[in-house]
Amino acid sequence: MLRFLLALILVPAVASAQADAAWARSLAHGDFEYAGLRDLSTTPVNGDTVEVRIWWDGSLSGRWIIRAPREGGTWTAERFQFKPQDRTALPDSINWARRWDLALAAGLDSLPPLPDHRSPVPRDDGEFFVIQWSHLGVVKESSADNPTMCVATSDARFLEIVLLLTGEHRVCEH
């Protein structure tokens, strides 16, 4: 009986969290297209080429994308910001090779594709993140719904990887 009651509570919460993540992914993919980026799911990179994208929606504070491709062993990076619209090349001093290696070591490849929890913060007053990467012909994505609330242990790891990739410091708000 207890399992049945827990299922009644947890299954809708997980489904709702996944619906929010699907909404965020849809918005992120629209922004990727708007920024002129190819769809990695239909044209993954091959060989030694890597592309990593971090999309963030801070609701009222705006949205941005960081795109960092590695082609021929050379990393470049740019930041695309919405409202006001701005595209900026990021300085070469940012060591993307090291950031990529640290993110992989921290578990980037094992991040869950969708959150397993629902954020306690309403959708219009929170943060959504999507990390998308393509490496060796495989495209992966992970998203988080208000990870700074740290509802699940995967949130702290997700935030650590965002920090490793972007340098944007975010911590759990408890």
Please indicate, yes or no, whether the overall pTM of this predicted structure exceeds 0.85: no
Note whether residue 173 is domain-resident: no
The CATH number of residue 48's host domain is 3.30.1560
Note whether residue 91 is domain-resident: yes
What is the overall mean pLDDT for the chain?
A: 75
Q: pLDDT higher for 63 or 120?
A: 63
Note whether residue 135 is domain-resident: yes
Q: Mean pLDDT over residues 38-61, rounded?
A: 80
Note whether residue 172 is domain-resident: no
Note whether residue 80 is domain-resident: yes
Omega before 84 within 30 of 0, i.e. cis? yes
pLDDT tens sequence across 122-148: 555 567 888 899 988 888 888 877 666
Note whether residue 65 is domain-resident: yes
- How would residue 104 be classed by pLDDT, with cut points 50, 70 and 90? very high
Q: Could you give the number of structural domains in the chain?
A: 1
pLDDT of residue 105: 93
Q: Mean pLDDT over residues 33-49, rounded?
A: 81
Q: Which domain holds residue 12?
A: 2-166
With b for 16 or more beta-carbon neighbours within 10 A and e for fewer, the 95-108 pattern comes to ebeebbebbeebeb
